[in-house]
Structure 1
Amino acid sequence: MALQGNAPPLGVIEMIPVSHPLSERAALFVRLWVGLIIGLIVAFLVDDKGLKISESVLSADWQDVLAQCLVLVAFIICAGASVMRRVSLAIWTALSAALLLLILWHIRIYSGDRNSSELQFILIVLALVFIANELVSSADQARKPFAPYELYFDEAWKRGAQLILAIGFTLLFWGILWMGAALLGFIGFNWLEELLKNVFFAFPVTGLAFASAVHLGDIQPKLLVNVRGLALGVLAWLLPVITLIGTIFGISLAFSGLQPLWDTKAATVTLLGACIGFVLLINAAFQQDETDHKVHVVLKWSVKLAALLLLVFAMLAAWSLGLRINQYGLTIDRTFAGMVVVIALAYGIGYSTAVFWRGPWMELLKPLNIGLAVFKCIVFIAILTPLAAPARLSVDNQVKRLTSGVTKPDTFDWGFLRYDTGTYGTKAIDQLIQSPNATIAKMAAHAKAEKMDVRHALFGDNDLSQAQRPDLSKLEVVLPKGAALPASFVAENFNKEVEDFVPDCLVRKPKDDPWTCKAAMLDLDGDAQPEVLIMTPSGDVTAFKQWRNKWVLIRGNVDPSQKLATESFKKADIRVVNPLFKDVMIGETRVQFLAKHRSPDIILDANPPPPTAPKAQSKKPAAQAPSKP
């Protein structure tokens, strides 16, 4: 609040008791200085040109951790400068900085989860900072441990709109700067462009722009109210749409069963995305009950139905995730999914209870939303610290599957332990080296010494760690009927050179139906040696030829724009025909003309075969004079 009388000049903090918030002028001063100073410190920490702290004093990882922590602390100070009491803001800033240092240290240095899971961690940290800051800020304004729901609602949605506008203002500010640099560059002046590329200018200026935009939102409350009202109105009337779609989906499942949903391999992610949408739109429609405005009857019934659908979708997501974990074990991505499932189930159970709660319409949502916000913060802290670290949980689960025999040592993802799970993985490898199982101990030692030939990577539900080399002798040969594939073809390893073109049934064993591909053997080039044709379930056909003791893919001989009839292939309705167009040799370049292609497919051949005489003029049998491919 502002003091009465003449206002002091900008840059001077008034002598207000620490039990009061900062005035408008003082809040602007604090925000600008925080943006400037933290911007300079972050620039110093990330700079690579001589000013970076020596790694003997502070490692590069720790410099990144400090830089990230300072950016988040800057947001906390800027958000609470004008609403929190001074002493409360100081204590909360210190506590949050300590917690963020612990979290960022654990993520970056200890757990090693900074590859495929980096984005998930960033989103969780940002969500934790935003939610926790609003809980503390609103409680401080109310002067009690828990503020009224109406204050939480106003502050959270106002702060969200303020944050979005501040980010938009900062981006627009930089867009104008770069436009000016481009204009100056047109006439030969590049000093502004070089200045914008300098981190000691870019970071402080960004901090000042963001701090100014945050303060602008505080002194223009009507702007935030209008933006928030527009957003809530639009989101609220999207609720009937998603509710109708969800209802149709639920009814359809009753007739189709769950198997088509499981077959998508993305059931958990899709269902959880729907749950997040339900929670957001339900709160946009509910807002503050009917205390400040009348809620349309369509929205009232949509909120009730959406709350029930939320529970159904959360239960289906939990079922789907449970099946995957039981089949392939726990991974980092599945741990994140499990976190969202737990939160979705909590919302589903709570919101469904509110539907049948006696009293005013959905009145129970008010205490539920406050309690669930606290619950989310607890879950986020557990995930971001050793309490329930995804790296620790996934390592423990995968090692248990390995030692119990569920996963074989030769199919176990040793690279996951060695490279992706930080200290948790390296400690597990050290323990496995002492395993009484000689195979496990040997492979663990190789993993520690980085002698593994293949490093698998876990990407969601790909489950490459569970992949097995298929037994190609089980492929059904439709032509000649009952024939067996050549032993050299069965023994060939196809996953080294042309993996992008080779069907999955030749590279790794699919999880559901391993032997859906069909095979045929025909002599395609007249050398009396059959080539192997492989047809996938989608109708794609790939041809392979044995050349120099290796089976290689024949590129360009199958028109990729045509899907062959799968039934005809299965019935062995296959024959060799003359090409529509003969090849043309232009020097050392072979040109093939394919039907329905707008331009010829040019194939460069470093060692083109010599021209051969027509078969009618050849005196030797084809089997005795094979042509080179």
Structure 2
Amino acid sequence: MHDRDQREGWPIRPWVAAAFGALAGFLIWALMDGLPRSPDGMALRVAAAAAIAASTAAFALCYEPLRARWALIFIAMVGLVVGLVLYWNGPTDKWGDLETWRGVCVALSVAIAAPLFQAARDQGARRFPYVEVHAHAWTNVVIWCAAWLFAGIVFILAFLLAALFDLIGIDLLKEALQKQWFWSTLLGTALGGGAGLLRERDRIVGLLERVVVSVLAVLAPVLAVGLVLFLLSLPFTGLTPLWAATRSTTPILLGCVIGALVLANAVIGHGEDQESRFPPLRWAAIALAVVLLPFALIAAVSTGARIGQYGFTPERLWALTFVTVAVVYGVAYLVAVVRGRERWAGFARPSNLHLAFGLCGLALFLATPLAAFNLLATRDQVARLKAGRVTPAAFSWSALAFDFGEPGRAALRELAKAPNPPAIRERAAKALKSEYRADIAADEQDQANRAMLRKHLRILPAPVPLPEGLLDAFGRVYGVDDRDVFVLLYRPGEDRAVLIRSQCETCQPNAEAVVRRADGTWVQPGNVTPTQSQDSPAATREALRTGTPEQIEVREVKRRQVFVNGKPVGDLLAE
């Protein structure tokens, strides 16, 4: 039996929780914005603020007069661990987008540890009955979500009252709501008070929990049918469409795995007395348990294909970690179904408990710098570059400069030195000097476009080696793809070259010229006014694609045009 049915109440809990929440909100504001800022102390401030927030949340959810000393020790440990982990990781303003997963992991470890502690506290020993752990986990989720809803209502009422008093010229509340310290304090008060109020009314929370679980259980057959039909469709469609969308395949599949886990557990509940007896729900839960492993394996293959093509990145290492966890859950649930068949839930519940301990420890490890994904990815990418598996032009310099953290910047400094090849040194030095990702990204895209240009380039009147720097003199090349047709008019020894490009059947082609200076460098001679082709775009495109040198030529022409201050203005004038 869950402790909500047997423990004594604590009437002052909502007020105590609200007071702690208000104090926490004010202290967090003071640490983050109220006190004078110092770059050297920012990591300590963030860590202290996170420790206060985590310990306050743990107090609202986990504190009970029963074995209060145990609860206070656990609350202190939660704050200490969260604070130390964030301090170890350094200032959050230096975190990349993917490093925020560290924050997610430390929050996940606390969320898993809380129901485990609550169950042990209720038992008065290191015992973790699945019924207790499962019930506390669902209760904590419901209270947390409901507390945020309560806080939202509090703010709505505050704004309503502020507007009401403003009508009669009393703007004290309106001005207070514009102050960040008031916002933070009020939010802490509302969250703490809401959580305390709900915790004190566990029977109501239990009813909410049963409603949520019942709704989720009803959705189990819908997801089960969809996932099973997807797997049955794969022999006919093949996996090629999945690989064509490799970047989105893994997150979608992992989302399906998480959804299947949640809905399957909603059906089986925390004990036989909670397990649904309705056949469609029972069979849907079995189907969800069975499809976990296939979906996890497809996600693993998808991630592996991406890694095999492009090597490790922090993003792919995080994805690989999540996929590994999904595979472990898939194996555990499949074994439970094989062993128990229709009574598989009796084997799945102990597995859930064991996996919870493992996942809690793994999440805490991933939250620390010991999981050096940035360093591992940097070493792998640099090794690929030095081994020639990726060319300097195709290498993602922007990722090394902006996504891989300090290990990436350190690798750039090393690559910018001799004895690395000149092409690597030049690009590494340029990436180090770039202040914005867009600068490197534009250059990388330009290099990729030039590689595509060379692939489709047709040199007339005859294919010949091109002088160094000739193609680069044409400036940036945008939006190159396999539909483009490029023709370069150049003869060896000439000081002028013309590049003609046709992008599609209905697009007018354009031409661009470069000339060679006396020092041997190629430059654009300046802007000229474009004119429209007199032929159809399709006919011009076909001539560019297959025409003879006689059909594609440069002619000297006489033109009439308006000039202002010596510069051409407008279109060419008719004769």
The bucket for the TM-score relative to the shorter chain is 0.7 to 0.9
Matched residues in 1 for 2:483 and 2:88: separation?
46
Residue correspondences, number = 528
> Aligned to 2:451, what secondary structure does the other structure show?
coil
Offset at residue 55 of structure 1 (A): 2.2
Give the equivalent residue in structure 2 for 1:290: 272
- Matching of residue 337 in structure 1 with residue 324 in structure 2: no
Give the equivalent residue in structure 1 for 2:214: 233
TM-aligned CA distance change 1:440 to 1:79, over 3 Å: farther
Give the equivalent residue in structure 1 for 2:53: 71
Q: Is the 8 A contact 1:330 1:397 kept in 2?
A: yes
- Matching of residue 384 in structure 1 with residue 364 in structure 2: no
TM-aligned CA distance change 1:571 to 1:139, over 3 Å: farther
> Aligned to 1:292, what secondary structure does the other structure show?
coil
> Aligned to 1:214, what secondary structure does the other structure show?
helix
Matched residues in 2 for 1:554 and 1:362: separation?
76
TM-aligned CA distance change 1:294 to 1:333, over 3 Å: closer
> Aligned to 1:117, what secondary structure does the other structure show?
coil
- Matching of residue 503 in structure 1 with residue 479 in structure 2: yes
TM-aligned CA distance change 1:543 to 1:143, over 3 Å: farther
Q: Once the two structures are aligned, what percentage of the paired residues are identical?
A: 24
TM-aligned CA distance change 1:245 to 1:517, over 3 Å: farther
Matched residues in 1 for 2:537 and 2:167: separation?
59
> Aligned to 2:222, what secondary structure does the other structure show?
helix
Residue type matched to 1:52 in 2? L
Deviations 1:92-128 (Å, cap 9, x if unpaired)?
1222222212321233439x76232255344333322
Matched residues in 1 for 2:66 and 2:262: separation?
27
Matched residues in 1 for 2:42 and 2:484: separation?
51
Residue type matched to 2:503 in 1? I
Structure 1 gaps, min length 5: 1-20, 506-514, 522-528, 559-563, 575-606, 619-629
Q: Is the 8 A contact 1:418 1:447 kept in 2?
A: no
Offset at residue 39 of structure 1 (A): 1.6
TM-aligned CA distance change 1:540 to 1:306, over 3 Å: farther
TM-aligned CA distance change 1:417 to 1:264, over 3 Å: closer
TM-aligned CA distance change 1:62 to 1:465, over 3 Å: farther
Matched residues in 2 for 1:254 and 1:323: separation?
19
Q: Which moved more, 1:234-243 or 1:120-129?
A: 120-129
Deviations 1:111-166 (Å, cap 9, x if unpaired)?
x7623225534433332221122222222222232411111111111111111000
- Matching of residue 142 in structure 1 with residue 118 in structure 2: no
TM-aligned CA distance change 1:543 to 1:175, over 3 Å: farther
Matched residues in 2 for 1:540 and 1:383: separation?
54
Q: 2:150 aligns with which of 148, 169, 174?
A: 169
Q: Is the 8 A contact 2:63 2:72 kept in 1?
A: no
Matched residues in 1 for 2:138 and 2:268: separation?
13
TM-aligned CA distance change 1:67 to 1:542, over 3 Å: farther
- Matching of residue 319 in structure 1 with residue 301 in structure 2: yes
Offset at residue 362 of structure 1 (A): 2.4
Deviations 1:187-242 (Å, cap 9, x if unpaired)?
66543232112233222221111111011112222321222222112211212111
Q: 1:31 aligns with which of 13, 17, 23?
A: 17
Matched residues in 1 for 2:203 and 2:77: separation?
32
Q: Is the 8 A contact 2:96 2:405 kept in 1?
A: no
TM-aligned CA distance change 1:152 to 1:458, over 3 Å: farther
Give the equivalent residue in structure 2 for 1:304: 286
- Matching of residue 153 in structure 1 with residue 129 in structure 2: no
Give the equivalent residue in structure 2 for 1:546: 512
Give the equivalent residue in structure 1 for 2:355: 372
Offset at residue 347 of structure 1 (A): 0.8
Offset at residue 45 of structure 1 (A): 1.0
> Aligned to 1:291, what secondary structure does the other structure show?
coil
Offset at residue 245 of structure 1 (A): 1.3
- Matching of residue 532 in structure 1 with residue 518 in structure 2: no
TM-aligned CA distance change 1:534 to 1:466, over 3 Å: closer
Q: Is the 8 A contact 2:314 2:373 kept in 1?
A: yes
TM-aligned CA distance change 1:569 to 1:442, over 3 Å: closer
TM-score, structure 2 as length reference: 0.78
Matched residues in 2 for 1:437 and 1:362: separation?
59
Matched residues in 2 for 1:35 and 1:195: separation?
18
Offset at residue 184 of structure 1 (A): 4.5
Offset at residue 456 of structure 1 (A): 7.1
| Superposition pairs of residues 219-618 of structure 1, within 5 angstroms | 219-265=200-246, 266-292=248-274, 294-358=276-340, 360-409=343-392, 411-429=394-412, 436-437=419-420, 439=422, 442=425, 446=429, 450-452=432-434, 455=437, 469-475=450-456, 490-491=471-472, 495=476, 502-505=478-481, 515-518=482-485, 532-535=501-504, 541=507, 543-546=509-512, 549=524, 609-610=569-570, 613-614=573-574, 618=575
TM-aligned CA distance change 1:93 to 1:608, over 3 Å: farther
Q: Is the 8 A contact 2:147 2:195 kept in 1?
A: yes
TM-aligned CA distance change 1:262 to 1:146, over 3 Å: farther
Structure 1's consecutive aligned runs of 4 or more residues displaced over 6 angstroms after TM superposition are 456-459, 463-466, 480-484, 486-489, 550-555, 564-574
> Aligned to 1:24, what secondary structure does the other structure show?
coil
> Aligned to 2:345, what secondary structure does the other structure show?
coil
Matched residues in 1 for 2:225 and 2:447: separation?
39
Q: Is the 8 A contact 1:429 1:444 kept in 2?
A: no
- Matching of residue 197 in structure 1 with residue 178 in structure 2: yes
Q: Is the 8 A contact 1:246 1:309 kept in 2?
A: yes
Matched residues in 2 for 1:262 and 1:552: separation?
44
Deviations 1:280-325 (Å, cap 9, x if unpaired)?
1111111134323542111222122221211001001001101111
Offset at residue 425 of structure 1 (A): 3.4
- Matching of residue 97 in structure 1 with residue 79 in structure 2: yes
> Aligned to 2:270, what secondary structure does the other structure show?
strand
Q: Is the 8 A contact 2:485 2:544 kept in 1?
A: no
TM-aligned CA distance change 1:157 to 1:439, over 3 Å: same
Give the equivalent residue in structure 2 for 1:627: none
Matched residues in 2 for 1:390 and 1:358: separation?
39
Residue type matched to 2:229 in 1? I
Matched residues in 1 for 2:424 and 2:486: separation?
40
Offset at residue 533 of structure 1 (A): 2.2
Deviations 1:362-394 (Å, cap 9, x if unpaired)?
211111111111121122122111232332332
Matched residues in 1 for 2:226 and 2:440: separation?
33
TM-aligned CA distance change 1:85 to 1:540, over 3 Å: farther
Q: Is the 8 A contact 2:397 2:440 kept in 1?
A: no
TM-aligned CA distance change 1:454 to 1:80, over 3 Å: closer
Residue type matched to 1:144 in 2? A
Offset at residue 427 of structure 1 (A): 4.7
Q: Which structure carries more relative contact order (alpha carbon 8 Å, separation 6+)?
A: 2
Over the aligned positions, Cα root-mean-square deviation in angstroms equals 4.4
TM-score, structure 1 as length reference: 0.72
> Aligned to 1:59, what secondary structure does the other structure show?
helix
